Amino acid sequence: MQSVADSLKALAELATKPPVSVVSAAFAAAGHELALVGGPVRDAFLGRAVHDLDLTTDATPDQILAIVAPLADAHWDIGRAFGTIGARIGGETVEITTYRSDTYDQVTRKPAVEFGTSLETDLLRRDFTVNALALTLPAQILVDPSGGMDDLLASTLRTPSTPEVSFGDDPLRMMRAVRFTAQLGFDVDEETRVALGEMAGRIENISAERVNEEVSKLLRSPEPRRGIELLVDSGLAAYVLPEVPDLRLEIDEHHHHKDVYQHSLTVLEQAIDLEHERHAGEEPDLTLRLAALLHDIGKPATRRLEPGGVVSFHHHDLVGSKLAKKRLRALRYDNETIADVARLIELHLRFFGYTDGAWTDSAVRRYVRDAGSQLERLHMLVRADVTTRNVRKADRLSFAYDDLESRIAELAEQEQLDSTRPDLDGEQIMGILNLSPGREVGEAYRFLLELRLEEGALGEEEATRRLTEWWSTR
């Protein structure tokens, strides 16, 4: 964390730069209060990049709109029912919300939206003290009714009211606590930690879409391991991602295997390191991170205790792929993400046969074909899956994968491997064999595709000869 002096300087700079200064002047001229609130105040103080400009005011939504409309390149009122007006000013987005003093009935979890007249009351209804901070504008007075500044300095997450009341108002705040530990590197205080364990089951009252959003933000954070460990230790994961705590398999005195849960967290960390190494500066890869976390979730269902103290997990890749599909559907992930994560889990063991004997060019082509658009992610997942402490074994696997990637690159250069197709397309097949569209055309296409994978590019003339020869012997 930066020094307090630097933090105050960062807050002052945020308050005096457009579009905040422009909006501040307009609200002051109209006789209304205005303050930066929550995330931007917290992040500026911590020396983090400020992405969201959230402001709060005593003005009503209609009054907000009247003030910002002349200043904005565009504005919208999709959140008007909740007191929020959004605007694009000087190329940046701002959201301005009327003070609120909502009440919850502890049953529907939907607040009875009530506009308030006090900044302090508005702050006290927020999720955590570090988000219950405001900087008044243009006076730049820090308002902190719940001790949020002390908690920022102590890197602690605490609720303004008791955690039982806060989480009872909105159980999703439990997921936000988990996410903030990963995003900010903070720890929850003991009272909050206890409440998480006691109230974890209430997360089932929250829609899958809202839970999905928090899980995704958690995995995109700089250090998701911290949050996942809290998710599991608190009991929340049992309701949200039960396959993850299930990885904590018991190890008896006669049969030994690595700690699958800790292994999975390490694979996630190593995948993130590779992601940064290969795609520096790009957005976090949610698909890769989901696959890394879930790649071994088929192991609990496939574990077998064999003679001699051996433990096997036959076909855990296929079982894990199916389980991942089911879980991600339940969390309302989009079809593309579900398919890509499941495919990565299904293929993550394929490489380990490479070290048992030299793959033919055909085997390499199949590996690339089966991975399809996920090849680069598969490269990273397979490398991240090596967590052995045996340096010699780790080096052997790393060298083997270096060799595989090198062969893939060479074949791709020679044969345009990324777009592997038969030498003849469907129209040509139908013309050569005098067929109409149907099953037989598909069989012929697959025959030519197998030839392409086994032998590489044949050329149109040779492919035609082989096709007619195959057709005549059917």
Please give the structure tokens belonging to residue 209.
Answer: 């879409």
Helix ranges (H only) for 284-315 are: 286-294, 299-302
Characterize 439-472 residue by residue with b for buried, 16 or more Cβ atoms within 10 angstroms of its Cβ, and e for exposed: eebeebbebbeebbbeebbbeeeebbebbeeebe
Fold of 1-149: Beta Polymerase; domain 2 (3.30.460)
Mean pLDDT over 137-163 rounds to 95
First-to-last CA distance in the chain? 73
Q: Please identify, in words, the CATH class of the domain defined by 155-240.
A: mainly alpha
- What order of strands is seen across the sheet that includes strand 92-98? 74-76, 84-89, 92-98, 53-57, 34-37, 134-137, 142-143
Please give the structure tokens belonging to residue 152.
Answer: 């920022």
pLDDT score for 1:
64
Could you tell me how far CA 47 lies from the centroid of its own chain?
Answer: 24
Domains of the chain, by residue range, sit at 1-149, 155-240, 272-418, 426-472
Percent pLDDT > 90 in the chain is 70
> Chain-wide mean pLDDT for the chain?
90
Among the listed residues 145, 139, 178, 138, the one whose alpha carbon sits nearest the alpha carbon of residue 160 = 145
- The 8-class DSSP code of residue 115 comes to B
Among the listed residues 231, 221, 338, the one whose alpha carbon sits nearest the alpha carbon of residue 291 = 338
pLDDT in tens, 28-52: 999 999 999 999 999 999 999 898 8
pLDDT score for 311:
79
Helix (H) or strand (E) holding 369: helix 361-371
pLDDT score for 253:
45
Tokens 């030498």 identify what position?
Answer: 423
Neighbours of 308 (CB within 10 A): 6
Checking if the pLDDT of 105 tops 60, the result is no
Q: Give 457's pLDDT tier (boundaries 50, 70, 90).
A: confident
Q: What distances in angstroms separate CA 101 from CA 81, 132, 164, 174, 446, one per listed residue?
A: 14, 13, 18, 21, 66
Lowest mean pLDDT among 109-118, 162-171, 241-250: 109-118
Mean pLDDT over 404-410 rounds to 89
Tokens 């060479």 identify what position?
Answer: 410
Checking if the pLDDT of 131 tops 70, the result is yes
1-149 matches 155-240 in fold: no
Please give the structure tokens belonging to residue 235.
Answer: 């009991």
Cα–Cα distance measured from residue 262 to residue 369, given in angstroms and rounded to the nearest whole number: 32
CA count, 13 A, side-chain hemisphere, 311: 18
Mean pLDDT over 380-406 rounds to 89
Checking if the pLDDT of 466 tops 80, the result is yes
pLDDT score for 284:
97
Between strands 311-312 and 304-305, the pairing is: antiparallel
pLDDT score for 215:
98
Higher pLDDT, 192 or 410: 192
Mean pLDDT over 302-331 rounds to 90
Among the listed residues 193, 116, 129, 185, the one whose alpha carbon sits nearest the alpha carbon of residue 161 = 129
